[in-house]
């Protein structure tokens, strides 16, 4: 049986790799992700997979190794990159993440609207990796949620 991980998706520059590093407790250098990277707890999906609808089939295939998906929207740039109902393409839960929550607070409502439109599950988490905002809360939630979703004790 394959190990199930947390799959992280989102547009270019939204903080996917920073979040993946935080979840994996890795403090090394950041590099642009051009390939799918399997970490100890995560699957870091390149932004090209979300920005090109014809690549969704690859994300759906990758999701077979995931117990949940974190869908990121960037509060500093509210570009709509997800298709309406995006979350319905997956068998595992899709959790909404608002990244860079310390930037452009006037865009928060737009980010929430986007997460609702794609069908991401609430609660939505507001994070900022460089400023360590919301990361520990998200990690605690994921630990408890994994136990619940996967029936672990």
Angle between helix axes 135-150 and 16-23 (nearest 10 degrees) is 70
Pairing mode, strands 42-44 and 121-126: unpaired
User: If residue 147 lies in a helix (H) or strand (E), which one and from where to where?
Assistant: helix 135-150
Assigned CATH class of 5-150: alpha beta
- Render pLDDT for 9-43 as a digit per residue (tens, 0 to 9): 999 999 999 999 999 998 877 766 678 999 999 99
- Render pLDDT for 49-81 as a digit per residue (tens, 0 to 9): 988 888 989 999 999 999 999 999 999 998 888
pLDDT at 79: 84
What average pLDDT does the chain have? 92
User: If residue 143 lies in a helix (H) or strand (E), which one and from where to where?
Assistant: helix 135-150
Q: What contacts 24+ positions apart, CB below 8 Å, involve 54-61?
A: 56/83, 56/89, 59/7, 59/9, 59/89, 60/89, 60/90
Burial 119-137 (b: 16+ CB within 10 A, else e): bbeeebbbbbbeeebbbee
Grade residue 153 by pLDDT with cuts at 50, 70 and 90.
low
Grade residue 152 by pLDDT with cuts at 50, 70 and 90.
low
Longest dimension (CA), the chain: 45
State how far the Cα of 1 lies from the Cα of 54, in Å rounded to an integer: 29
42: left (phi over 0), alpha (psi -120 to 50) or beta: beta
Name the token pair of 132. Answer: 């360590």
Q: Quick check: helix, strand or coil at residue 94?
A: strand
pLDDT at 148: 87
């Amino acid at each position: 049986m394959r190990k199930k991980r947390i799959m992280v998706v989102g547009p270019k520059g939204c903080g996917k790799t920073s979040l993946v590093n935080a979840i994996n407790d890795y403090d090394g250098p950041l590099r642009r992700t051009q390939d799918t990277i399997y970490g100890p707890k995560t699957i870091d999906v390149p932004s090209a997979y979300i920005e090109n609808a014809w690549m969704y089939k690859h994300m759906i295939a990758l999701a077979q190794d995931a117990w949940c998906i974190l869908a990121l929207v960037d509060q500093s740039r509210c570009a709509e990159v997800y298709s309406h109902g995006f979350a319905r393409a997956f068998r595992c839960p899709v959790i909404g993440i608002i990244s860079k929550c310390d930037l452009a607070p006037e865009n928060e409502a737009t980010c929430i609207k986007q997460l609702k439109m794609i069908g991401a599950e609430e609660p939505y988490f507001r994070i900022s990796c460089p400023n360590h905002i919301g990361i520990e809360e998200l990690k605690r939630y994921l630990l408890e949620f994994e136990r619940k979703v996967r029936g672990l004790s």
